[in-house]
């Protein structure tokens, strides 16, 4: 595809998509596009009330289910209650924020939600998945540097931007190792990642007094950001386009910040298979959840 728009989606009638963080922003836009193409869309959200409000605005065949990625117990419950095939799993939910917070299980929240929550969810749902897993990453990964000795920021002075960058880097390493394992298991499922570009969503909005950096971001977003519907396009492209597994998609213009989606590059560290395996092994240890498919097993 030389250009791609939401209207380019194929007929998705008879398919099921699960979208995390679907009550607002990119997740809501992705859900709306998939539902308009005929998919049954399950909005996996922390707030059932907000999820139903979003579903009402989306229309089509939608369902709302509770999922709190900051609580591995909630992730396990969501997966245990699932029955039937999943054609698309869209790992979209994400958090930012200026302060150090922790998940129910004690993980630093950005790493715990953006990476570990989706790591756990994907592996628990994988026996049901028949099509693709798309994880929303970011070019912020280029500024990351994982500290395996202190992934949960228990020893270092906390740096909010670094923690976010690291979580997006982890998303790409997770995608690469997931696709490698799927291929080794003989599965036809593809794992892809998507960068939505610079998008004006509530991930940039925080409670509390506005800092100088918040004012700067507000100005940047006002001048350069695209809306959530355009930010959803790389995610949709990663979900349905005829592209290889372990692809990374993003906008084509303004240093991949705006425009129609295309395949984009990732940093050299994000392509390191040994680093991806190391993160996977640590993630298994932290969550107690591993890859569920034995070698030679196909999910189709």
At 23, list the tokens: 């009550």
Please pick, among 158, 164, 204, 237, the residue that the annotation labels catalytic: 164
Residue with tokens 């950096």: 213
Helices marked H in 1-84 — which ranges?
25-36, 48-58, 72-80
In the chain, where do the E strands start and end?
Answer: 16-20, 40-45, 62-66, 86-91, 129-136, 190-194, 248-253, 258-263
Cβ-based burial of 11 (10 A; exposed 0-12, middle 13-18, buried ≥19): exposed
Rounded to whole angstroms, the maximal C-alpha distance in the chain is 54
At 25, list the tokens: 């922003």
Residue with tokens 């790493």: 111
Q: How far apart are CA 109 and CA 139, in angstroms?
A: 20
Length of the chain counted residue by residue: 300
Closest CA to 229 of 184, 252, 253, 197: 197
158 included as an active-site residue: no
At 239, list the tokens: 């979900």
Q: How far apart are CA 93 and CA 18, in angstroms?
A: 11
* Residues assigned a catalytic role: 164
């Amino acid at each position: 595809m030389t250009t791609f728009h939401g209207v380019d989606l194929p007929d998705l009638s008879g398919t099921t998509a699960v979208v995390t963080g679907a009550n607002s922003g990119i997740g809501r836009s992705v859900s709306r596009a998939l539902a308009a193409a005929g998919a049954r869309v399950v909005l996996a959200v922390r707030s059932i009330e907000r999820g139903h409000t979003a579903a009402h605005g989306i229309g089509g065949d939608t369902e709302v289910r509770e999922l709190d990625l900051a609580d591995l117990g909630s992730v396990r419950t969501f997966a245990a209650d699932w029955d039937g095939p999943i054609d698309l799993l869209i790992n979209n939910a994400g958090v930012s924020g200026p302060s150090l917070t922790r998940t129910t299980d004690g993980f630093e929240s950005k790493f715990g939600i953006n990476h570990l929550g989706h790591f756990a969810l994907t592996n628990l749902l994988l026996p049901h998945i028949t099509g693709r897993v798309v994880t929303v990453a970011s070019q912020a990964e280029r500024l990351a540097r994982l500290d395996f000795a202190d992934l949960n920021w228990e020893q270092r002075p906390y740096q909010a931007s670094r923690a976010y960058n690291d979580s997006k880097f982890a998303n790409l390493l997770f995608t690469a190792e997931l696709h490698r394992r799927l291929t080794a298991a003989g599965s036809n499922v593809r794992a892809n990642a998507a960068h939505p570009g610079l998008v004006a969503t509530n991930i940039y909005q925080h409670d509390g007094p506005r800092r100088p950096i918040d004012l700067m971001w507000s100005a940047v977003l006002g001048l350069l950001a695209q809306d959530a519907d355009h930010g959803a396009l790389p995610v949709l492209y990663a979900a349905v386009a005829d592209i290889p597994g372990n692809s990374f998609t993003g906008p084509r213009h303004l240093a991949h910040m705006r425009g129609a989606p295309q395949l984009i590059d990732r940093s050299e560290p994000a392509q390191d298979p040994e680093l991806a395996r190391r993160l996977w092994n640590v993630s298994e240890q932290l969550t107690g959840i591993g890859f569920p498919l034995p070698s030679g097993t196909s999910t189709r």
